[in-house]
Copies of this chain bind each other. A is one copy, B any other.
Amino acid sequence: MTDAAFYHRRRVMITGGLGFIGSNLAHRLVALGADVLLVDSLIQDYGGNLFNIAGIEDRVTVNVADVRQASTMNHLVQGRDVIFNLAGQVSHIDSMRDPHTDLEINCRSQLTLLEACRHHNPAAKVIYASTRQIYGKPDALPVTERHLVRPTDVNGINKAAGEYYHLVYNNVFGVRACALRLTNVYGPRQLLRHDRQGFIGWFIRLALEDKEIQVFGDGSQVRDFVFVDDAVEAFLAAGATDTVNGEAFNICGEEHLSHRDLVQMLVAIAGRGRYRFVEWPADKKAIDIGSFYADSSLFRARTGWIPSVNLRDGFSRTFDYYRQHLKEYVGEGSV
C-alpha cells in the first residue's frame, strides 16, 4: 500500500475527530505528515475527548463544531482533499429513547456535510464510518455486502440512511464517497464512561476496575473484532484510492469469539475482573441480533487491506493504554 506517501501534506478533515476512531486516525495521519483538521462537537457522552489528542495537539487543528450546522460545514470542507466522516451518535439504546436526536445527528448531519461538499468542495473524497448494525439479525454467516440491510433499531436505520446518502452523492453529484461498515472496533481512546456505546469498552473498564462483567444469556453469541489501528488503516486505504467510490464495504476482524470466550480472554489478559451470566434485560434482548461476523474480502480485493493485529496483542495494548490513562476515560473530567 502506498498510503504513507499519499497522505504526506495531504489536507484532511476528520469529523468526530476527537472520538475513538477519529483520534486514532489523527495520530496516524500526523505521523504520515498530513495537514489534519479535527471537527468535533464534544457533546457530552458521545465519545469526543480532548485527551485523545495528547501528544499531537500542536500538530493538528481542532475546530469545535456541530456537523448539523450547515454554515459551519460549508466553510470547513473547503480545500480539504479527504474527509473522514466519523461524527455520529453511536448508542443503540439512546436512539430508541430519543429517536429524533439520533435522526438529527446521523441523518441530517450527513446530508449537511454532503451538501457542503456538493456546493463548496465537489472534488473532496469522503469516507463514511458506517456499521454492521445496518444488517440487523443475519440470515447466514459470515455476512457479506450482499446481505439485506435490515436494521433492528433506530440508530441502525439512520446509519443506513447516512450511508446511502454518501453513495447517492457519489453517483449523482460526483462527490467521491464510500462507506465502511465497521464491526466491533476496540482499542485505546474509546469511551469508557458509560455502557451505552457497546459492550467492549465497558467490559474492558470492568476488568480493569476488578469488577464483575455481566454476560447476557449463555454468552454464546459470536462477534468479530477489529483493533482500532487496523480500522484506521482501512480508512487510510479507502481515502487513497478511487477503486472504492460509490460502494459500501465490510471492515471486520479475522478472529471470531463468543462473548463467553471474549470475557475469559479479557479477564486473563487484564489479570483482574470476573464474570457472571445473567438473564437478558428485555430492552436489550429486543434489539439483539444473535451471532454476527462479517466477510471483508470485497474491501481486501479493492485495496489490499488486511487486519494485522491479533486479539491477544490488541487487547494487551488496549489494557496497557488504559492502565496508564484510565482516569482520563472514567473520571469527572472525561466526557
Residues of A within 8 A of B (CB): 96, 99-100, 103, 107-108, 111-112, 115, 146, 148-154, 156-158, 160-161, 164-165, 167-168, 171-172, 286-287
Contacts and interface: CB of A to CB of B under 8 A. Distances in A.
A156 B150 CA distance: 16
Contacts of A154: 111, 165, 168
Given A100-B111, A103-B108, A172-B96, A157 B151 contact: no
Contacts of A152: 168, 171-172
A107 B110 CA distance: 14
Contact of A151 (B111, B168, B287): B168
A66 to B, nearest CB: 15
Q: What is the total number of copies of this protein in its complex?
A: 2
Given A103-B108, A108-B100, A172 B160 contact: no
27 contacts: A96-B172, A99-B111, A99-B165, A100-B108, A100-B111, A103-B107, A103-B108, A107-B107, A107-B161, A146-B148, A150-B164, A150-B167, A151-B164, A151-B168, A152-B168, A152-B171, A152-B172, A153-B172, A154-B168, A157-B164, A157-B168, A160-B160, A160-B161, A160-B164, A161-B161, A172-B286, A172-B287
A226 to B, nearest CB: 24
A286 B170 CA distance: 11
Contacts of A161: 107, 157-158, 160-161
A160 B107 CA distance: 12
A258 B112 CA distance: 38
Given A99-B111, A99-B165, A148-B149, 10 more contacts: A96-B172, A103-B107, A146-B148, A148-B148, A151-B168, A152-B172, A157-B164, A157-B165, A160-B161, A172-B287
Contact of A168 (B103, B153, B165, B171): B153
